[in-house]
Chains A and B, each alone.
Chain A
Amino acid sequence: AQSVAQPEDQVNVAEGNPLTVKCTYSVSGNPYLFWYVQYPNRGLQFLLKYITGDNLVKGSYGFEAEFNKSQTSFHLKKPSALVSDSALYFCAVRDIGVNTGFQKLVFGTGTRLLVSP
Chain B
Amino acid sequence: DADVTQTPRNRITKTGKRIMLECSQTKGHDRMYWYRQDPGLGLRLIYYSFDVKDINKGEISDGYSVSRQAQAKFSLSLESAIPNQTALYFCATSGPGNTIYFGEGSWLTVV
Residues of chain A touching chain B, judged by Cβ–Cβ distance below 8 Å, are 9, 32, 34, 36, 42-46, 49, 51, 90, 94, 97, 100, 102-110
Given contacts A104-B33, A108-B42, contact A43 B98 (CB under 8 A): no
Q: Which B residues touch A90, using CB under 8 A?
A: 42-43
Known contacts A49-B98, A110-B42; 14 further A-B pairs (Cβ under 8 A): A43-B103, A97-B56, A100-B56, A102-B48, A102-B50, A103-B98, A104-B33, A104-B45, A105-B43, A105-B100, A107-B42, A107-B44, A108-B42, A110-B40
If over half of B's interface residues share one DSSP class (helix, strand or loop), that class is named, otherwise mixed; here it is strand
Give Cα A9–Cα B42 distance, bound, in whole angstroms: 11
Residue among B40, B90, B101, B104 making CB contact with A109, cutoff 8 Å = B40
Q: Which B residues touch A103, using CB under 8 A?
A: 31, 94, 98
The answer to the question of B74 belonging to the interface, with a C-beta cut-off of 8 Å to chain A, is no
Chain B interface residue count, Cβ-Cβ cutoff 8 angstroms: 25
- Would B90 and A94 count as touching, CB distance under 8 A? no
If over half of A's interface residues share one DSSP class (helix, strand or loop), that class is named, otherwise mixed; here it is strand
Residue among A42, A49, A97, A110 making CB contact with B99, cutoff 8 Å = A49
- Would B42 and A102 count as touching, CB distance under 8 A? no
Interchain residue pairs with CB less than 8 A apart (5) = A44-B102, A97-B56, A102-B31, A105-B100, A107-B42
Closest to B39 in A: A110
Closest to A44 in B: B102
Q: Which A residues touch B103, using CB under 8 A?
A: 43
Closest to A95 in B: B45
Give Cα A109–Cα B37 distance, bound, in whole angstroms: 9
Q: Which B residues touch A46, using CB under 8 A?
A: 99-101
Given contacts A102-B50, A108-B42, A110-B42, contact A44 B98 (CB under 8 A): no
Quick one: which of A9, A43, A108, A110 has the most chain B CB within 10 A? A43
- Would A43 and B105 count as touching, CB distance under 8 A? yes
- Would A104 and B42 count as touching, CB distance under 8 A? no
The 8 A-B pairs of least Cβ separation, nearest first, read A43-B104, A44-B102, A107-B42, A107-B43, A109-B42, A43-B102, A43-B105, A110-B42
